[in-house]
Every structure is written in structure tokens, then in C-alpha cells.
Amino acid sequence: MSAKKIQSAVSFEPQVTIEARQTRLSLSEDAVVIHKGGIEFRSPTAFSPWTEMTLSLQSPRDGGRVNCSGVVISCSGNKHAGYFVSMIFTSLSKQAQSRLSNMADAALV
């Protein structure tokens, strides 16, 4: 997995939305790092490994929305400082893969 950090010039409009069964998070772009095969984010809520989640991202370039699913592979931290969550995408369509690559590449410009 290659990491691509989101720069402040690139923003998601609206924010990144992440949902698990009874949790819904709206995250700002400075709390999210996109990788080719997954995403990392800071969260006030802990998630157990193997938790399935859905994400909704909106491209800063063309406004296109990407809805995808993923699985939490790591969650570290505590309730006072927050949690750092890593997840991998699952079952991405070719179109979703292309849009995510474009979003990750936009972060480097």
C-alpha cells in the first residue's frame, strides 16, 4: 500500500462520511489519509478489527462521489486522545478504483 497524504489545498466537500452499524462519522480532510487500497483516519470512536464500514467520498475535482466498503484492520489509541483507524477497501468496482486513484493523486498536486 502506498500512502498519499492529503494536502490542505485539497478538500472533500462535504466531509468524508464513514458509517458502521450504529456509528456515523463526518471527518475533515485533515483527519484522513487515502491510500490506493485503503484509508486511515482519526476518530473519537474506537472500532474493533474486522468491523465492516461504508464510506462516502466526494472528489474535489469533479464533484463525483465514491461510495465504497471496507474492513477495519487496526485501531489504536484511547478515549482521551482519540483513535487512529486503518481500514482496507473491499469489493471496489473499476470505476470506484479509478476515482479513488484520482482523489489520491489530487492530494499530491
**Model pLDDT for residues 30-48, shown as the tens digit of each residue:** 778 887 788 898 888 899 9
We report the CATH number of the domain holding residue 33 as 2.40.10.220
Size of the chain, expressed as the number of residues it contains: 109
8 has pLDDT over 70: no
pLDDT computed for residue 24 by the predictor: 78
Number of domains observed in the structure of the chain: 1
Domain of 23, in residue numbers: 3-108
10 has pLDDT over 60: no
Query: For the segment 51-95, what is each residue's pLDDT rounded down to a tens digit?
Result: 998 888 766 666 677 888 899 999 999 999 999 999 999 988 888
Burial of residue 108 (CB within 10 Å: 0-12, 13-18, 19+) is: exposed
pLDDT computed for residue 7 by the predictor: 38
9 has pLDDT over 50: no
Report d(CA 26, CA 44) in Å as an integer. Answer: 11
pTM over 0.85: no
2 in helix, strand or coil?
Answer: coil
Q: Other CB atoms closer than 10 Å to residue 107's CB: what's the count?
A: 19
